[in-house]
Amino acid sequence: MLIITGDTHNTFDGRRLNRDKFDYTGLTKEDYILIAGDFGYVWRGDERDDPDLDALSDLPVTILFVDGNHENFDALNAYEIKEWHGGKVHFIRPDIIHLMRGEAYEICGYTVFTFGGAFSMDKQFRTPGLSWWPQELPTEEEYAHGRETLARLGNRVDLIVTHDMPTAYVRLLYGRARGYPLSRYFDEINDTAEFEHWYFAHHHKEIEFDSKHTLLYNNFVYLKNR
């Protein structure tokens, strides 16, 4: 089974993964919980992260995540890039896996395109290299790689999982949109790619915008294997 949820921010919002809050009955390491950004468990970049990561690894599922904006990108990018289920990843643990920007994976019978990152609206309150990293926003190379991946797949995937969302949905949420480059990039994908459903997070709300676009925070979406 593939289970998708929103931001966890380490234990701040990640407590919903605790055994006393989430029912793991019948789930195994062949089942996946996919976090749509702001994972936050690779935060200090040293052994201080280990207790929380070990607790996640002890769960009877495999944890997947796309990066958000509140991540320690220096620490994340220090991990060796490897291949997993058709795409490039960082293995934080054998059962905790970072799904990278512009990659596509075969998971539980679904082709899943992922693209992390977002703009930190609280950037002015954060410290560079300590609680904020410029890599939160994608590079032109990452944008191009995402286009190439989708083109290779004939612009057809089953699921899209990102941290932020296209401009149209930002406007629906706030009544306006700042037109960030990443949201405009997602507009392009929304207009050109065929997909069954797109899940995103970042905005700390639960909204089913329409039949194909869902904003997640604490909720879980359960997708059975195909």
Quick: pLDDT tens for 113-136. 999 999 887 777 788 877 777 888
86: closest CA among 101, 98, 103? 103
pLDDT digits (tens, 9 = 90+) for 9-62: 987 777 899 998 999 999 999 999 999 999 999 999 899 999 999 999 999 999
| pLDDT tens by residue, 64-75 | 999 999 999 999
Q: Residue 223 corresponds to which tokens in the numbers above? A: 């997708």
Long-range contacts of 177-184 (CB under 8 A, 24+ apart): 180/119, 181/137, 182/117, 182/118, 182/119, 182/137, 182/138
The per-residue pLDDT for 92 is 98
- Give residue limits of the domains in the chain: 2-223
Is pLDDT above 80 for 225?
yes
Inter-axis angle of helices 167-174 and 181-192, nearest 10: 120
Per DSSP, helices labelled H in 49-166 are: 50-57, 73-76, 140-152
Share of the chain above pLDDT 70, in %: 100
Q: Provide the whole-model pTM.
A: 0.95
Q: What are phi and psi of 91, to 5 degrees?
A: -85, 110
CATH code reported for the domain at 2-223 = 3.60.21
Sequence-ordered alpha helix ranges (H) in 109-177? 140-152, 167-174
